[in-house]
Every structure is written in C-alpha cells, then in structure tokens.
Amino acid sequence: MFRQGDTTKGIFFLASGGICLTRVTESGNSVTIYNAQTGDMFAEASIYSDHYHCDAICTAPSEVVRISKQAIQKQLREDTAFSEGITKRLAVQVQDYRQLLTLHALKSANDRVLLAVELGKLTGSVTQFANQIGLTKEACYRALRDLSDQGLLTKTGRGRYAPTPRSEDRLP
Amino acid sequence: MFRQGDTTKGIFFLASGGICLTRVTESGNSVTIYNAQTGDMFAEASIYSDHYHCDAICTAPSEVVRISKQAIQKQLREDTAFSEGITKRLAVQVQDYRQLLTLHALKSANDRVLLAVELGKLTGSVTQFANQIGLTKEACYRALRDLSDQGLLTKTGRGRYAPTPRSEDRLP
DNA sequence: GGTAACATGTGATTTCAATCATATTCGGAT
DNA sequence: ATCCGAATATGATTGAAATCACATGTTACC
C-alpha cells in the first residue's frame, strides 16, 4: 500500500484480506507494528503527518478503500458531527485496546479465557478466539473445559461456551 | 488522581512528575496501562464515558492540571484547532496501543525484549520496563543478558542497554 | 556514617502453556 | 453419497518463563 517515508495520501479501510504494518527501527531491524484484519482501519494518524512512518504490505489479496487526506481534512473542518464522530470513534478504540491489553496481561490461560468469554470475545470459532487472545487453540480448549468443570462457564454446544450466571443476577 | 469507577471530571495535563495509569482486573491483578511523563496528557477518552476505567496514581510528586469535562466539550465544539489537537492525540494513542499489542503477541522473552528496546521502551528502570512489556524483571534481565551475549544489544551501563547499530547505517 | 528501601543481577526449581500426536465431527464441494 | 479440509477435543511430552532465593550496588534520609 505504501512505504515508510512516502508522502501521506490518506487513511485506509481494509474491506477484506490482510495488511501488515512494519517499521524499520533506528538499529536497522524491520519490526511488525500491527497486523490489520478485515474490517480494520489503519494509518489514522497519517492525517496529521506529511509522510508515513511505516510500511503497509499486503499479506493476502486484499480489498482496500482509501479516503483521501484532503477529503478527511475538509470534512473534519466543515462537518462538526463528522469530526465529533471520528473523535469518539478514536476514543472508543483507545478503550478497546486498553481492554485487550489488560486481557493479554493475564498470564494464566484460565484467567484469560474466563475474562475474554465474560467480555463476549467468543463469538466465532474457538480457533479465531484463541488467536485473538494470544493462546494456542489447544490451551484454549483445555481452559474452556477446566472452567466448565469448575462451573465458571457453561458449555452451550459444540464450541460454544457462556459465563455461568452469578446468583446475584438471577431474577424471580 | 482518580480511581477506576470514579465519575469522570475531565482530562489531565501532567506539568511535572509522573503518573502511572493502572487497571485492576477481575482476578485482582494490577496492570500498567500507561506511564505518563512530564508534558503528557492523559484520560482523553474519559470525555465520552461516565466513569474512569483505570486508576491514576502518582509515582512522583507531580503538578497536574485538570481541564473540566464541560470546558472540554464546549471547546471541542467551538475551537477547531483544539478539536484537531485532541483528535491527533487520540490517533497517536491508537497507534501506540497497537504497537504494544504487537509486542505482547510475541511469546519469546528475547524477541519481546529486543523489539521493546528497539522501540525505545527502555527509558526508566528495568523493573518498570518489565511490567510494561508483560514479563517478570528476572526474565527481562536474563533476556537482556542473552541479547547482549548475542551481540544484538549493547550494555551501555548498569541497567542501560541499547540496540547494536546495524552495519548498513554506517556512513563514511 | 549508618541504614533502610529499592534496583540490578544471577542461580535453582517448578509450573504451565506450547508442541506434537491423534481421533472425531461437521460442512462444503464433487 | 462420499471425499476432503477445517474445527473440535484430548492425551503425552517438552521447554521456557515464573517463582523462589539470594548477593551486590545505589540512593536517600536521619
């Protein structure tokens, strides 16, 4: 998509595929900054700088929408609702990332899986879920079984688990 | 400054000192979200939520300016430059968090420490550094020693390490 | 000067997730 | 209808980081 040092041409929305953002550090090593997945937006900060500070490389055939820098800047100045929407969206993203970081900070697989399920992260396949929370699928299945055995989770079907309702939550 | 769950009273500017933003997880662990240094602003995302979702604790005697939520909301509507500044700050934060997540996704202690040092995360104490990147200080010290032995890092002093410059960077 | 608190650093042991292996089930394509 | 690939699920082994333990160095304070 673009290279480190290129003049910024806008922000990007990844409709499908995969984009890897990498950056060459001062010591000359190339390091991964972010792996964008389907539905992600990236290079938001490029609105405010003249050149990209990382490479964006396709890791799979991808469909990408580019929104031009000029269009964004014009809209940000002229449309208050748009500006407010962008700001709020960024603020929410910050909170989401903090939540994800909190999750990743838990070392125990059981703790991590339990919290992740309680946060509603287990929607698709367990394989995806495992990848998202930084565990192998095997460790994930085992944690899910352990937590079900302990009564903290309830198995609602093949590959489906839900938090066991706490007694306080029950209504007459 | 404030505790997780307190009703939001505004955003903060750290004129001097140090503030550590931590979040207590359900299992009772305290994890570092952000280490604010002199000149940093923090709790920007609180503009759009009713309560703080982390603790802000002084790590040093600090001078802090609080800007009230009402004033912020008024200014966001009326001052374009101000609004732009806030948006930019949030965009940069999103990138920082993505970077931190990428860092936490590395399982090997050596890989993680090397990347973190290259990204310039080792500024203060190794203990703080270790906490920030999700390792114990012991694992951190060992990784730093390994990487120094391998020639990937250079020990510049007690508790001080820097990436070994790559040969390509040298100029005649 | 003395000492208390904390950072640096390393060695020994344990624990737990990664890895390897394998069986079963489900869904989509032929 | 059946063949194949992917997801689910679990057992055995291994390896690396956490934990425990301890020594030294540094800073701040009385």
Confidence of residue A90 (pLDDT cuts 50, 70, 90): confident
Q: Cβ contacts (< 8 Å) between B83 and chain A: which residues? A: 83, 87
Nearest to A27 among B48, B90, B163 (CB): B163
Which is it for the CA torsion B137, B142, B147, B148, positive or negative?
A: positive
For tokens 């750290």, the residue is B14
Distance, CA of B154 to CA of B147 (rounded, Å) = 8
User: What pLDDT, in 10s, does the model give residues A42-85?
Assistant: 888 788 888 888 888 877 778 899 999 999 889 888 888 888 88
* Residues of chain A (69-108) having a beta carbon less than 7 angstroms from strand D: 107
User: pLDDT digit string (tens) for A100-118?
Assistant: 888 888 899 999 999 898 8
**What pLDDT is stored for residue A169 in this prediction?**
44
Chain A residues whose beta carbon lies within 8 Å of the beta carbon of residue B118: 25-27, 29, 31
Q: In the structure, what pLDDT confidence band is assigned to residue B166 with cuts at 50, 70 and 90? A: low
Please report, rounded to a whole number, the percentage of residues in chain B having pLDDT higher than 90. Answer: 32
Q: What is the pLDDT of residue A27?
A: 56
pLDDT at residue B170 greater than cutoff 50? no
At A65 the pLDDT is 93
Cβ–Cβ below 8 Å for A45 and B105: no
Region B85-99: mean pLDDT is 85
Q: Would you call A31 and B115 a contact, using CB atoms and an 8 Å cutoff?
A: yes
Residue B105, by phi and psi: left (phi above 0), alpha (psi -120 to 50) or beta?
alpha
Which residues of B fall within a CB distance of 8 Å from A56? none
B28 pLDDT band (50/70/90 cuts)?
A: very low
Q: Which amino acid is at B120?
A: G
- Burial class from Cβ neighbours inside 10 Å (0-12, 13-18, 19+) for residue A161 reads buried
Mark yes or no for CB contact A105/B164 under 8 Å: no
Contact A87 B76 (CB under 8 A): yes
Domains and CATH numbers, chain B: 10-78 (2.60.120.10), 106-164 (1.10.10.10)
> Does residue B76 register a pLDDT over 70?
yes
Min distance B141 CA to chain A CA atoms (Å): 19
Q: What confidence category does residue B129 fall into, taking pLDDT thresholds of 50, 70 and 90?
A: very high
A111 vs chain B: nearest CA distance in angstroms? 7
Task: State the pLDDT at residue B30.
Answer: 55
With bands split at pLDDT 50, 70 and 90, how would you rate the model's confidence at A31? low
Query: Which of helix, strand or coil describes residue A34?
Result: strand
Residue A16 has pLDDT above 90, yes or no: no
Residue pair A30/A23 in contact by the 8 Å Cβ criterion: yes
Report the gap between the CA of B52 and the closest CA in chain A (Å). Answer: 10
The full DSSP string for chain B is -B-TTPBP-EEEEEEEEEEEEEEE-TTS-EEEEEEE-TT-EE-GGGGGSSB-SSEEEEEEEEEEEEEEHHHHHHHHHH-HHHHHHHHHHHHHHHHHHHHHHHHHH--SHHHHHHHHHHTT--SS-HHHHHHHTT--HHHHHHHHHHHHHTTSEEEEETTEEEEPPPGGG---
Residue contact A27–B164, C-beta within 8 A: yes
Per residue in B56-68, pLDDT tens?
A: 887 667 788 999 9
- In 3D space, the residue among A114, A116, A127 whose CA is nearest the CA of residue A164 turns out to be A114
Given A48, A77, A102, which is nearest B80 (Cβ)?
A77
Taking phi over 0 as left and psi of -120 to 50 as alpha, with beta for the rest, A10 belongs to left
Asked whether the predicted pLDDT for residue A145 surpasses 90, the reply is yes
> Which residues from B are below 8 Å from A76, CB to CB?
84, 87
